[in-house]
Structure 1
Amino acid sequence: MSDEDLYVDHDNARWAFGTGFTDPLHGVDQEVPDGIDVGGLAACCLALGDDAMVSAQRLAEWCTRAPELEEELALANIGLDLLGQARLLYARTGRADGTGRGEDAYAYFRGPVDFRNVRLAELPGGDFAFTIARLLVLSTWRLALFEELTAAPDPVLAGIAAKSVKELAYHRHYAAGWTVRLGDGTEESRARLESALRGIAPWLNELLADRAAEHLGAAPAAVADRTLLWLTDVFVTAGLVPAEVLPLGPASMSSVPGSGRGGDHTEHLAPLLAELQSVARAHPDAAW
């Protein structure tokens, strides 16, 4: 399956994403190969789709609020990339779980308890330093995870991962560049970055211990090692002491009880979804 196969124009688009086609996997052979646990595949795609959807919604909050127009456009485009990933993953979920539901059903017509995103994605946006720090951590981890999934036994998921790797590499590059600028900038920018990373630290273990894609070839230990190695390099380049801003290693890391993968979320997810889903729930049959 090539990158071109993943997006095919189609008439009568649903209003939800406004992309000009209804099925993001239209024209792709979506049969699940024999020997794959369809329930596990659906659960993995749903979790990774939720990570992308919730992250995109948080980035959308920076529209008209970013410090510069260039950064507003960059954050908006990263959010659009993540929305595209969510569409593909939700579409695969609907096929794998046997319901045939489209991406709208997963994005707009589930409550907070049914979402399976990691909780770091749903935390309030905070200042620009927090947004950059979170983007750095999530994109580094997600890139390491999707690199492993390019060899997934499900060819559709492998194709989605291969396409997403290119986008995530840019997301990580963008966040790393700003991390270095903030860390090696003024006393104020450095203090804000360090504060942001300390706020993220308790939530990092949920990512490093995540097993959502383990049965599809993404070993948690390999993903965690690659994530921590890259983060360490960025922090050193930014003039930060890694052990002071993020305790690099699950054994030394404080963590918040519960797991977004199990439906345990912070109080911040419900209002985020209320805003995200308001129009769809008010006009469930609308089209454009």
Structure 2
Amino acid sequence: MADTDDDHIYLSLAEEHGDGDARWAFGTGFEDPLHGVETAVPAGVDAVRLAADCAALADDALVGAQRLAEWCTRAPELEEEVALANIGLDLLGQARLLYTRAGQADGSGRGEDAFAYFRDADAFRSLRLAELPNGDFAFSVVRLLWLSSWRLALFTRLAHGAPDPVLAAVAEKGVKELTYHRQYAADWVVRLGDGTEESHRRTVAALAGIAPYTGELFTGAPVCGVAPADLRDEVTGVVRQVCAAAGLELPEAEPLPGSGRDGDRTDHLAPLLAELQSVARAHPEGVW
């Protein structure tokens, strides 16, 4: 096992964003992150592009939340089930706010349910990495490390520079949540990579399996002024730092062609949505 100080290099990640203990799920607090925020789309902001960006980020969060929910009753320990469920609820909260903003910005007035439950897979613009099945626990925490590191880097920039005040407010709230998500994932990657021979093997396999899907994190059009390519050094640097603490190497891989943002889907999204949307579609006017 590594020295104790080395074993917790990842803890420094949380310090970059201040409140490393902000880990509670959407809805458990009493502060509305959008209270007092002007909801009119600012002059000069492309409302159609803003709506598309919000919907795509919400798709990532919704699909990610559903994958994390699948760990309920299956996680290695009860404590991890609770942690993963709370992370999923954080992402679900982000999705709700972003879908609502998308419906406001595009002028359709669509609510969060319309985006989440009544679109087919080909209308989603989620990252393909989020769509992949959970695999084993090592795969899920390595994926969470990549996605939370990427989303945190993006949301940090949006919180301070998004031209839309609503998106900036959603991002500011998300930064606190994503800081914990990244810390949690880093913790587990270090424990597994620097653990038993079997856990090390599985973590190596997870890194290799995920590597081809990471390219699309850093390609495509800017998100409200943030170019995905500008996130590459920060995000890969974080993942590399965690891997070093875990005694792992970050593998190189040829990126898969296409992008989820352009409508390229995996075969795994449609079955996931069928389960997610089944009750809402069976009872479209249902109220509980």
User: Are positions 1:219 and 2:246 aligned together?
Assistant: no
CA 1:107–1:208 in 2, change beyond 3 Å: closer, same or farther? same
Question: How far does residue 210 in structure 1 lie from its aligned partner after superposition?
Answer: 3.9
Aligned to 1:271: 271
Aligned to 1:135: 144
| Counterpart-to-counterpart distance in 1, 2:228 and 2:260 | 16
**Is the 1:53–1:86 Cα contact (8 Å) retained in structure 2?**
yes
Residue 166 of structure 2, aligned match among 156, 171, 182: 156
Aligned to 1:121: 130
Question: How far does residue 228 in structure 1 lie from its aligned partner after superposition?
Answer: 0.8
User: Are positions 1:103 and 2:112 aligned together?
Assistant: yes
Aligned to 1:44: 53
Residue 83 of structure 1, aligned match among 92, 112, 117: 92
| Counterpart-to-counterpart distance in 2, 1:237 and 1:153 | 37
Aligned to 2:211: 201
CA 1:145–1:257 in 2, change beyond 3 Å: closer, same or farther? same
Q: Which has the higher contact order (CA 8 A, sep 6+)?
A: 2
**Is the 1:202–1:256 Cα contact (8 Å) retained in structure 2?**
yes
Aligned residue identity for 2:205:
S
| Counterpart-to-counterpart distance in 2, 1:43 and 1:171 | 25
CA 1:24–1:97 in 2, change beyond 3 Å: closer, same or farther? farther
| Counterpart-to-counterpart distance in 1, 2:151 and 2:265 | 19
| Counterpart-to-counterpart distance in 2, 1:212 and 1:55 | 22
CA 1:107–1:154 in 2, change beyond 3 Å: closer, same or farther? same
| Percent of aligned positions that are identical | 66
Aligned to 2:44: 35
CA 1:236–1:35 in 2, change beyond 3 Å: closer, same or farther? same
SS in 2 for 1:286: coil
**Is the 1:180–1:234 Cα contact (8 Å) retained in structure 2?**
yes
- State the Cα RMSD in Å: 1.8
| Counterpart-to-counterpart distance in 2, 1:27 and 1:58 | 33
Deviations 1:51-72 (A, max 9, x none): 0000000000000110100000
| Counterpart-to-counterpart distance in 2, 1:18 and 1:160 | 14
Deviations 1:23-46 (A, max 9, x none): 996874310010001111011001
Aligned residue identity for 2:273:
L
| Counterpart-to-counterpart distance in 2, 1:54 and 1:212 | 21
Structure 2 stretches of 5 or more lacking a match?
Answer: 1-25
Aligned residue identity for 2:51:
A
Residue 175 of structure 2, aligned match among 153, 156, 165: 165
Residue 197 of structure 2, aligned match among 164, 183, 187: 187
Aligned residue identity for 1:227:
V
Aligned to 1:112: 121
Aligned to 2:185: 175
Aligned residue identity for 2:152:
L
Aligned to 2:17: none
| Counterpart-to-counterpart distance in 1, 2:211 and 2:182 | 18
TM-score, length-scaled by structure 1: 0.86
Question: How far does residue 185 in structure 1 lie from its aligned partner after superposition?
Answer: 0.3
**Is the 1:47–1:212 Cα contact (8 Å) retained in structure 2?**
no
Residue 77 of structure 2, aligned match among 68, 71, 89: 68
Deviations 1:216-269 (A, max 9, x none): 231223211110111111110111122xxx32xxxxx41222211111101100
Residue 238 of structure 1, aligned match among 246, 251, 262: 246
| Counterpart-to-counterpart distance in 2, 1:272 and 1:279 | 13
